[in-house]
Amino acid sequence: MSGKLNLRNYYKGLAAFFILGIISFSSFASDYQLQVAKGNTAYSAGKYKEAVQAYTSLVTQGLESKDLFYNLGNSYFKLNDIPHAILWYERAKRLDPGSEDVTFNLNVANSKITDKIEPLPEFFLKRWLRNLTGLYSVDAWAKSGIAFLIAALALFSLYVASRVLILRKLGFWTGFLTLIFSVIFLLFAWTGYNSLISEQSAIIINPTVTVKSSPDEKSTDIFVIHEGCKVQLVDHIGNWYEIRIVNGSVGWVEMGNFEKI
């Protein structure tokens, strides 16, 4: 009898846990929608600082989404804060590289910055692969690869199980083709993931930044960059970061001059 009661209490506790979880999630989703609506209303009314505050409150909670970052970029752009607009557009692009709206607005924002730096020539195959993998996010490539892998397994099962010759041929060749696509998509996901974790980029947020030859304030000034310029973070020593810009020039700047994408 006591065993049944204990089991009953266990199921009651489990049910209560799930109910509390559902209530907490619903409350969280409601708060998220409320803050987004608050930001959208402020943006529509031309109150861009309030829109930034509403959207930023969600970011500080650890939320990430292309639309949220895109809205922040738009709000900063309206405030004529071009460096932070570029920062948030770049963050949105990382989550959804194929978004035409994000790419268009990012290009508009970049046209307003001081530095117009010509990038180094790039081997066409490397450029082609980078552009291709950048069409979709890492998650999108990975999900497509897994979906095609499951489809390939199903088709190979048809090949093994079927006694009809035409179905066996269909299962084998379409399964083989689907498997090839799965490998390609997973390879794109792996390439994109490696690019994300190995390449750290940042946006210069201070109006004018003098780049040094070494991580020392007294070292030689080698070139100057301006707010909105995108840089690659190569290395760091203490509060100093070695950066590289698209024309291949490298140097050192102090933390506080940029924000990481």
Domain range annotation of the chain: 2-110, 124-198, 200-260
**Predicted local distance difference test score (pLDDT) of residue 172:** 93
Fold entry, domain 200-260: SH3 type barrels. (2.30.30)
Q: Is the pLDDT of residue 23 over 80?
A: no
pLDDT digits (tens, 9 = 90+) for 74-128: 999 999 999 999 999 999 998 888 889 999 999 999 999 999 988 877 777 777 8
Enumerate residues 6+ apart whose C-beta is below 8 A from 217: 254
Q: Give residue-wise pLDDT tens across range 165-175.
A: 898 999 999 99
pTM, two decimals, is 0.71
Task: Give SS3 for 4.
Answer: helix
- Is residue 33 within 8 Å of residue 26, measured between CB atoms? no
pLDDT of res. 6: 55
CATH topology for 2-110 is 1.25.40
Query: CA-to-CA distance for 176 and 167, rounded, in angstroms?
Result: 14
Asked if domains 2-110 and 200-260 share a fold, the reply is: no
The burial of 59, by beta-carbon neighbours within 10 Å (0-12 exposed, 13-18 middle, 19 or more buried), is given as middle
Query: What phi-psi label fits residue 242: left (phi over 0), alpha (psi between -120 and 50 degrees) or beta?
Result: beta
Q: What is the pLDDT of residues 142-192, one digit of tens each?
A: 999 999 999 999 999 988 988 888 989 999 999 999 999 999 999 998 888
